Amino acid sequence: MNNNKYMIFVANIHSKFEWITEYWTPKILAELNEQYVKLAKIKGELIWHSHQDEDEMFIVFRGTLFMDFKDGTTETKEGECLIIPRGVEHRPRTNGEEVWIMMIEPKGTKHTGDVQHEKTVMNFEWI
């Protein structure tokens, strides 16, 4: 889609989600201050990973995001946000439903940290 870098722009977040047809394939909505704002639809589970130098923020726009940590699981519902500090191992998953998430993280953040998997996205597209 269009590259919105360095433009004033307004976007409807729900409408942008409607364009996403694949799970676990984050799309870039915006770039600012060396961060990407990404949108993703997820269902099922991703693999365990961590990001050594990047904190991550998730905002849930639909459904409930389950995040497994080594010592427990958080549930983040629609209208809630989750912060994961750098270095903390985690595994995102859903309870079988489709969940819509916004992620805010540095541009260089790898999808699944230093772990590679068939679900790992190497190059993020704009939406």
Nearest-approach distance from CB 94 to a copy of itself, in angstroms: 15
Residue 105 in contact with a copy of itself, rule: CB under 8 A: yes
Q: Quick one: which segment of 19-27, 49-57, 110-118, 119-127 binds a copy of itself (CB under 8 A)?
A: 49-57
Q: Which of 84, 56, 80, 58 is nearest to 70 (CA)?
A: 84
Nearest-approach distance from CB 114 to a copy of itself, in angstroms: 18
Long-range Cβ contact pairs of 117-121 (< 8 A, separation 24 or more): 117/46, 117/47, 119/24, 119/46, 119/47, 121/24, 121/25, 121/26
Q: What whole-number distance in Å separates Cα of residue 103 and Cα of residue 56?
A: 7
Of 42 and 59, which has the nearer Cβ to a copy of itself?
Answer: 59
Residue 85 in contact with a copy of itself, rule: CB under 8 A: yes
| β pairing state of 125-126 and 27-32 | parallel
List interacting residues with a copy of itself (CB under 8 A).
4, 6-14, 29-30, 32-33, 35, 37, 54-57, 59, 69, 74-77, 79-85, 88, 104-106
